[in-house]
Amino acid sequence: MKFYKLVQDNQIIGVVNSGNFFKFSPITNCFLRSNESEGEYISYNGNLYRSTWMLPSAEPKEHIEALVLEISQEEYEIYASAIENNETIIEE
């Protein structure tokens, strides 16, 4: 499993794992879980996020632009704890 941080305006707004990637299926008209290489969106706190490296969606959905960057499990755990404690995490 891989881990990712979501960054907006130099602030880490969330952390997720590879199970949070989705793609939209026009055939079924719903979102399907996908792996990182096929992901069009990543889900966090009820919102969809996109980063420039993700595949484009054939039917774009409402989303928020953010940097989605791979991190280690140790970093994930540190950031997750800080976010849970409502700490602000600034990227340098």
Per-residue pLDDT at 82? 92
- Could you state, in order of their start, the residue ranges of all structural domains in the chain? 3-84
What's the chain's average pLDDT? 93
- Give the model confidence (pLDDT) of 46-68 as tens digits: 999 999 999 998 888 999 999 99
Q: Which comes out higher in pLDDT, residue 84 or 87?
A: 84
CA distances from 18 to 2, 29, 86, 87 (A): 5, 22, 23, 24
Per-residue pLDDT at 86? 83
Per-residue pLDDT at 16? 97
- Give the model confidence (pLDDT) of 30-46 as tens digits: 999 999 999 999 999 99
CA distances from 3 to 15, 27, 34, 44, 58 (A): 7, 29, 15, 13, 26
Q: What's the angle, vertex CA 81, arms to CA 8 and CA 2, rounded to 5?
A: 70
Task: Determine the Cα–Cα distance for residues 19 and 82; give it in Å rounded to an integer.
Answer: 21
